[in-house]
Amino acid sequence: MRWSLRVSLVGLVVGLALPVATAQATTTVERVPFEATLTECGETITLSGTLLGVFTVQDLGGDGLLLTFHFQPQGVSGTSSSGVPYHATGLTRDTIVFVPSGGLTETFVNRFHIVGTMGAPTFYVKTTFHITVTPSGDVAVEFENFSEECV
């Protein structure tokens, strides 16, 4: 599931980037409706609210391109199956640089927290992904750290 969300978000950013053909950065801010039902920490938690999305595209010249997106919950909250209120905090951020000589670097960071109240546990999702691809197409660096925990 985490990869499908990441791929969808990257696709959205690339789609926004296609019409851009300027050396100046273009930034778009969108409010995206968010709804999710999670079964974590022994609870089924239904959340809804808005994600603030900030998308930036910049032509780096010579076929280079910088794409970034940043999402953060705004007013995302909900209730668990036992009636406990939960609130979402955190961020999801991706930065992709297509270098003029070919190749790319990408760094993806997700820190999503479903914060329990009234003594209920908090659910943490933490992802860090990075890849560097050389102009010849070889992967020079690639790693992913992922964890989920209830605290």
Instruction: List pLDDT tens digits, range 26-55.
Output: 999 999 999 999 999 999 999 999 999 999
- Predicted TM-score of the model (pTM): 0.80
Per the listing, tokens 């990869």 go with: 3
Instruction: List pLDDT tens digits, range 114-149.
Output: 999 999 999 999 999 999 999 999 999 999 999 999
The percentage of residues in the chain with a pLDDT greater than 70, rounded to a whole number, is 85
Query: How would residue 24 be classed by pLDDT, with cut points 50, 70 and 90?
Result: confident
Whether residue 14 is predicted with pLDDT greater than 60 in this model: the reply is: no
Q: Which two tokens stand for residue 143?
A: 């790693």
**Distance, CA of 61 to CA of 115 (rounded, Å):** 43
* Alpha carbon separation from 1 to 12, 101, 129, 144 (Å, rounded): 17, 33, 15, 15
Structure-model confidence comparison of residues 70 and 5, the more confident one: 70
DSSP state letter for 12: H
Structure-model confidence comparison of residues 90 and 22, the more confident one: 90
